[in-house]
Amino acid sequence: MTDTTWRDAEHDDVVQAVHYALRFGLTGKAHGKRAREDDLRMAAHVVAHLMRANFRVQCGPPRPAHSISDLGRNPGGMPEGWENEPPPR
């Protein structure tokens, strides 16, 4: 009996599936130069291949809005006194 429960995909399984999709088309023949150079077409092909290989991609809830309010007057986390230092010569 086959296991019907959902599981997290193994990293190597995803790598193998994407590698195959990037190299070969639906017929098993290698992609031509024109297909390899069309990024959007290749991305759509990879997604279609992953769906055929029974991988499912899920999207979580949106992340909180990015805020830099914690930096205050110190953008980029510069060392204290950075605004008073003379420029390098």
- Provide the residue ranges of all domains of the chain, joining segments of one domain with +: 11-52
- Give the model confidence (pLDDT) of 35-80 as tens digits: 778 878 888 888 889 888 888 877 677 766 665 555 556 656 666 7
pLDDT of residue 81: 67
- Give the model confidence (pLDDT) of 1-29 as tens digits: 466 777 778 888 888 888 888 888 878 88
Report the predicted TM-score, pTM, of the whole model to 2 decimal places: 0.51
Q: How is residue 36 annotated by DSSP?
A: H
Strand partners of residue 24: 30
Answer with the residue of higher pLDDT: 28 or 82.
28
pLDDT of residue 71: 52
